[in-house]
Amino acid sequence: MTRLCAIPMPVAMDDDLLDTLPLAHRLALSYAPCRAAGDILALLALNQRLGGVLRQASEPVIAQMKLAWWRDRFRQSPEDWPAGEPLLAALARWRGDTKRLEALVDGWEILLAESLGREEADSYAAGHAGAWAALAEGVGSRIDAPLVERSAAIHALADLALNLPPGAERRQVEGMLEAGRAATPRLDRPLRPLAVLRALSLRAVARSSKELLDGPGAMTVALRSGLTGR
């Protein structure tokens, strides 16, 4: 069995990135093999940063400006990125195609729309799916790209549902999850953190819970998914 990895910290700035992650994400990351942990940490930290742009902006235009900065970076070669940004430094070591992270930025920006319909939710999920598929290629996962994308989209939609207030928009996103629940593919070891997050977020939606880690049952789900990939 491949040894699970205590998250490697090749440079001090990675400690800071780890501190930006919610506890559930740090738990999921603990199931990554050493060869993939740094790449997954960078992607999770980026996703957290992009979500924070929306949460913290007082006006949509401010969020759009900040997201545009990240979009512009992913249109550049990492060699041209500005120095001094710890997250960019981590992503410069990323083994996936960083240009594919532009869709992740687009997926977050779509949530600034006045209303959230199926098309917007699909775009949000697709951005996450593409980012995880790029990561999977970079870390040598043997899972076919469509299966990686499906798993990432399921997690993204579940996470989106958990952060929507009760109402029509949340019910619509939860409805989009129903087809995916019965077809969650097994993920290989490089992608075990995604399997854990997928399982925890689906559990939370089913329980109408606000927290991914809401008790011993959640820890059991995380352990099972981290070891089996389901």
Identify the pLDDT of residue 180.
Answer: 64
Q: What is the pLDDT of residue 114?
A: 86
Vertex 200, ends 3 and 122: CA angle to 5°?
A: 110
Local structure of residue 94 (DSSP, 8 states): -
152's tokens: 């990432």
pLDDT value of residue 224: 96
Q: Where are the alpha helices (DSSP H) in 30-117?
A: 34-56, 60-74, 86-92, 102-109
| Token pair for 119 | 């098309």
Show the low-confidence residues of the chain (pLDDT under 70): 1-13, 179-183
Note whether 105 and 50 are within 8 A (CB).
yes
pLDDT score at 14: 78
pLDDT at 182: 65
Long-range contacts of 15-22 (CB under 8 A, 24+ apart): 16/86, 17/41, 17/42, 17/45, 17/86, 17/87, 17/90, 18/45, 20/45, 20/48, 20/49, 21/45, 21/48, 22/48, 22/212
